[in-house]
Structure 1
Amino acid sequence: MSDVAVAELPPVAAEPLLRPGAEPPPPPNNPLLDDAILPTLLRLAWPNVLALTAGTCVVVAETSYIGRLGTEALAAMALVFPFVILTMTMSGGAMGGGVASAIARALGSGDQERAAQLAMHALLIGLGFGVVFTLGMLIFGARALELLGGRGNVLAQAISYVHIFFAGAVVPWLMNTLAAILRGTGNMKLPSLMILNSAVLQIVLGGTLGLGLGPIPSFGMPGVAAGTLTAFSTSVAVMAWYIFSGRARVQPSFSGLRIERGMFFDILKVGAVACFTPLQSVLTITIFTHMLAHFGTAVLAGYGIGARLEFMLTSIAFAVGIASVPMIGMAIGAGRIKRARRIAWTAALVSFLSVGVFGSAIAMFPHLWVDLFSSDPGVKLAGERYLQAAAPFYAFIGLSISLYFSAQGAAKVLGPVLAQTARLIFVVIGGWLLMINHGSAGNFFALAAASMVLLGLGCALSVLVTRWEPKKVAVMTPPMVD
């Protein structure tokens, strides 16, 4: 045998010595692979629910103190909201899901070294996307807000928020990437604790800098943005320390970093494709906001209040869905496809029912939500009408979010992305028809509700028909030589 052939042989790991007749020890139990699905899912989801409930408090508090700045400030936040949500959902849900999925699949196959390398590549991706968002919004943000229908003081306040928040866009991208690394290992508690910490700080700092307190003057919308970035920065510092100090299940290192195209591909084949979902979702909201801007500031502000409730309630589905990613990813990595599918449909049912119950309750008593944020009669009327039309169908948004994350765990995310494409086309065509026929704001609210049903059923169908089994690679055997 030649020296080259010897060099290409893989090293052989030494096997532990066993007594004659003794059986090898069983592999260590992995709760995400071996325990009952529903209890494990709920155990992983509850820290996320707790943290996202705190995020809900931020939504309530932020909308409340922005409302104290006036109706124009509320309308400005409605203009900015799609871009902020795009940043958070793309970094946390889309690319973050791709990161968690890749790390979970590596751990499921027993390759911890690969998981650590994936974590480092994920951080490089997060840094890159953060810079892109900063440059994009600082250069084109003002024009985008104007195209949405922003005018006068409403536009000026929206721009002032964008200039502060997106100057530090790297911060939310790093925060959500670090959280995704931990979630990929099955650690839901620390990321959730950090979200809770950020929520408390965001309420305190955003309210203080936005409205002013004691010797601190009111900075308005820029103060709200600055408070948010400061709160996020504390979470980045804590999670980075935890991961790089060796306390996590993966331990990335700058010294051992090898830039590998395959690592980027493993993350981006899920994360990059998944990014089209929040992009299309925000584009849908953006187009819808532009259409509603023709009905005036009161309708725009009322819709903004209702849209924030949608974000709040569907965060329940986010909590359940993100908990399913490491469970499904590890099951796929271990070759247990049937278990992975059972996890997906269990998570979907939990999300659909939980979001649907709360959404239906709010639809019956919409004033309980709307009255928290505005006393303007026009704003209240628009907000209540939107919730009566759309809130019962938030369940389908919850269904789509859960299945979107499940598809990420299986690295088969194209179907949910195409379902979001169908919703976008539906809203564009339906909105255009309503505009040329002089439809009312109520007609547009009904259009939004119908699009939610289309999205949820489309995601369910895509997961149902997509094969999750990995492709079999044909092995070429050398021909026999006489």
Structure 2
Amino acid sequence: MILGRQIDEREDSLPQPARQTAKELLDGPILPTLLSLAWPNALGFSAGALVAIAETSYIGRLGIEALAAMALVFPLVMLTMSMAGAAMGGGVAAAIARALGAGDRDRAEDLATHALLIAIVFGLAFMLGMLVGGRRLLELLGGRGDVLEQATAYSRVYFGGAVLIWLVNILAGVLRGTGNMKLPSLLVINSAICQIILGRTLGLGLGPVPQFGMPGVATGLLIAGTTNIAAMCWYLFSGRGRIAPRLRGFRMQWALFADILKVGVVACFSPLQNALINLILAHLLAAFGTATLAAYGIGTRLEYVLATIAFSFGVGSVPMIGVAIGAGRTARARRVAWTTGLVAFIVIGALAGAVALVPDPWISLFIDDASAHAASRQFLRTVAPFYALIGLASAMYFSSQGAGNVLGPVLAQTVRLIFIALGGWYLMSKAATPGSFFALIAASMMLLGTLSCVAVALTRWGPKADTKR
């Protein structure tokens, strides 16, 4: 009751829409509230996927070397975006939601300011690391000749603006922590449109604008991100949001850094491990030739599309769970987590199952080679039904972020990484067929989903268990 009065008193000082948002997060029906938070994210993440398709189209006009260069640097770009957005941004959203759930608006505002400092520090670290060692890293990934030169040119511009990349994702995390999903998603759509227009114009040239090639494409991305930073800063610092980062009289508090980093840093290991898994599998399957490797690539494209949908539900659950934990309502937080997992499992399972049953339309979007088509059909019929477990694991990962303890799902990903590495080594020693490797991938997804659920079930959430509804 004391927590409830504190929340009511804090919310009385906020505009009516903000009070409604806080009450809905804490007391609204779980499934409708989750869906209302998820659909803006789905639109925003879908726009991001369209950017990747559009970029592939106009970069292709720069030549096959440019396409190869983008393929070389793209995993590093995605890793950076995942760490800044899904991992650290999720940690920021969760910490702010827990503070608001406890009725401590001042702490939430101080957390927002500390989050901006984290964005700057991590952005500078990525910038310096890639400017100093980026070319060598691209060489280790297989870059040679003109492909290496173009990949290096792109990465120098992109990672030269790494602070901007981190700021735009952390600011979105601040807004999502307050339950505001619509503005970040609207800005992602706006950024996608700007990025496509600017990237194409600066990359290929248009009218008086000369062709800058790959650096132009990267510059378009950074300009689009800068407009989003300006819009979110205006919204937050103008007082239109539930909180505003506290600058006047600000002093650093290591406890607030720890509140964010204890989730964000650990969460960063999940996209890192996922990137390692993809590299291992690509290396193993490359031994069977182009057709099998192409089949894996087509499968991972489907996984990426479905992951964006799973992320939409997962990100939506973070403020709901964080507010509930902050208010001491652990039982509600767990109900939100299991509801999110069930929804992600059903939706991703239905979509992936449909592709597994009728894979040809999806495969035909990418390739018409007969041997690659056959390998892709085998891959999707073996692996696609298990993408539902990836959706479930994603929901558990984000739910754990909201609760402030993401170690369990990250360790589940570690087990999957070890399982694939050891299993792949064993199958290679037995000269196994591609079908055996496909089965290994499917089994690893089942392992990940199961262990993620076990981790959530066994991990203690909140200061103590409760039975509040």
**Compared CA separation, residues 202 and 359, structure 1 to 2 (3 A):** farther
Asked if residue 54 in structure 1 is aligned to residue 55 in structure 2, the reply is: no
* CA spacing shift, 1:188–1:67, aligned 2, 3 Å: same
Q: Choose which of 110, 124, 127 in structure 2 pairs with 1:131.
A: 124
CA shift, 1:78, in A, is: 3.6
1:164 and 2:157 equivalent?
A: yes
Aligned to 1:202: 195
Give the letter aligned to residue 158 of structure 2: F
Is 2:218 aligned against 1:225? yes
- The structure having more radius of gyration, on CA atoms, is 1
- Residue from 182, 185, 194 that aligns with 2:175: 182
Distance of 1:149 and 1:81 partners within structure 2: 13
Change in 2 beyond 3 A, CA 1:383/1:361: same
AA at the equivalent of 2:451: G
* Separation in 2, partners of 1:169, 1:295: 37
Read off the aligned partner of 1:60 and give its amino acid letter.
Answer: I
- 2:453 is matched with 460
2-structure distance, mates of 1:224, 1:302: 28
Q: Which residue of 1 aligns with 2:80?
A: 87
- Cα 1:380/1:35, change in 2 over 3 Å: same
Report the CA distance shift for 1:66/1:354 in structure 2 as closer, same or farther (over 3 A). farther
Change (3 A) 1:425 1:175: same
* Cα separation, partners in 2 of 1:40 and 1:419, compared to 1, 3 Å: same
Structure 1 position 327 matched with structure 2 position 320? yes
Q: Distance in 2 between matches of 1:325 and 1:407?
A: 8
Aligned to 1:274: 267
Please state if 1:116 is matched with 2:118.
Answer: no
Please say if 1:257 is aligned against 2:267: no
TM-score, length-normalised on structure 2?
A: 0.87
> Which residue pairs with 2:15 in the alignment?
none
Aligned to 2:14: none
Q: Is the 8 A contact 1:101 1:325 kept in 2?
A: yes
1:286 to 279, 288, 292: 279
Partner of 2:16: none
| 2:196 partner amino acid | I
Q: Deviations over 1:139-176 (max 9, x none)?
A: 33333333334444544443333222222111121011
Counterpart mapping for 1:15-54 below 5 A: 30-54=23-47
Alpha-carbon spacing, 1:152–1:444, altered in 2? closer, same or farther (3 Å): farther
Corresponding position of 1:21: none
Range moving further from structure 2, 141-150 or 213-222: 213-222
Q: Is the Cα contact below 8 Å between 2:88 and 2:261 reproduced in 1?
A: yes
CA distance 1:353–1:210, shift in 2 (3 Å): farther
Where does residue 245 of structure 1 map in the other structure?
238
For the 8 Å contact 2:168–2:229, the answer to whether it is kept is yes
Moved more, 127-136 or 432-441: 432-441
Distance 2:61 2:374 in 1: 19
Q: Secondary structure at the match of 1:187?
A: coil
Identity %: 60
- Alignment check: 8 A CA contact 1:82 1:285 kept: no
Alignment match of 2:389 (pick from 396, 401, 408): 396
Q: Bigger shift: 192-201 or 282-291? A: 282-291
Q: Is the 8 A contact 1:59 1:308 kept in 2?
A: no
CA distance in 1, matches of 2:416, 2:274: 8
Which segment is superposed worse, 299-308 or 445-454? 299-308
Give the 3-state SS of the residue equivalent to 1:275 in structure 2.
helix
The 8 Å contact of residues 270 and 412 in structure 1, kept in 2 or not, is answered as yes
- 8 A contact 2:112–2:246 mirrored in 1: no
Structure 1 unaligned blocks of 5 or more:
1-12, 17-26, 473-482
Amino acid at match of 1:398: G
Q: In structure 2, what is the Cα distance between the partners aligned to 1:77 and 1:296? A: 22
CA separation in 1, counterparts of 2:104 and 2:259?
14
Instruction: After TM superposition, give the deviation of residue 343 of structure 1 in Å.
Output: 0.3
Deviation string, structure 1 residues 408-442 (Cα, Å, up to 9, x no partner): 11112110010010011112112223334444555
Distance 1:385 1:222 in 2: 39
2:107 maps to 1:107: no
Matches of 1:453 and 1:383 in 2, distance apart? 20
Q: How many Å apart are 1:91 and its aligned residue? A: 0.8
2:350 to 350, 353, 357: 357
The structure with more helix, counted as a fraction of residues: 2
Distance 1:216 1:307, change over 3 A: farther
Q: What SS is found at the alignment partner of 1:470?
A: coil
SS at match of 2:81: helix
Question: TM-score, structure 1 length as denominator?
Answer: 0.85
Task: State the Cα distance separating 1:290 from its structure 2 match.
Answer: 3.6
CA displacement 1:364-417 (0-9 Å, x = unmatched): 444434444456667666655544443332211111111101011111211001
Q: 2:110 touches 2:245 (CA, 8 Å); kept in 1?
A: yes
Residue type at the aligned position of 1:333:
G
Equivalenced residues, count: 448
For residues 457 and 230 of structure 2, the distance between their equivalents in structure 1, rounded to whole angstroms, comes to 41
Distance of aligned partners of 1:458 and 1:337 in 2 relative to their CA distance in 1, 3 Å threshold: same
The alignment's C-alpha RMSD in Å is 2.8
Which residue identity does 2:172 align to in structure 1? A
Alignment-mate amino acid for residue 171 of structure 2: L
User: Paired residue for 2:408, among 415, 436, 451?
Assistant: 415
Distance 1:103 1:75 in 2: 41
Opposite residue 34 of structure 1, the aligned amino acid is: D
Q: Distance in 1 between matches of 2:110 and 2:34?
A: 27
8 Å CA contact 1:82–1:286 kept in 2: the answer is: no
Q: Is the 8 A contact 1:64 1:373 kept in 2?
A: no
Retained in 1: the 8 A contact 2:313–2:395? yes
In structure 2, the residue matched to 1:425 is: 418
Compute the displacement of 1:245 (Å). Answer: 1.6
Q: Label 1:430 to 1:160 Cα distance change in 2 as closer, same or farther (>3 A).
A: farther
Shift of 1:201: 1.7
Bigger mean CA offset, 47-56 vs 376-385: 376-385
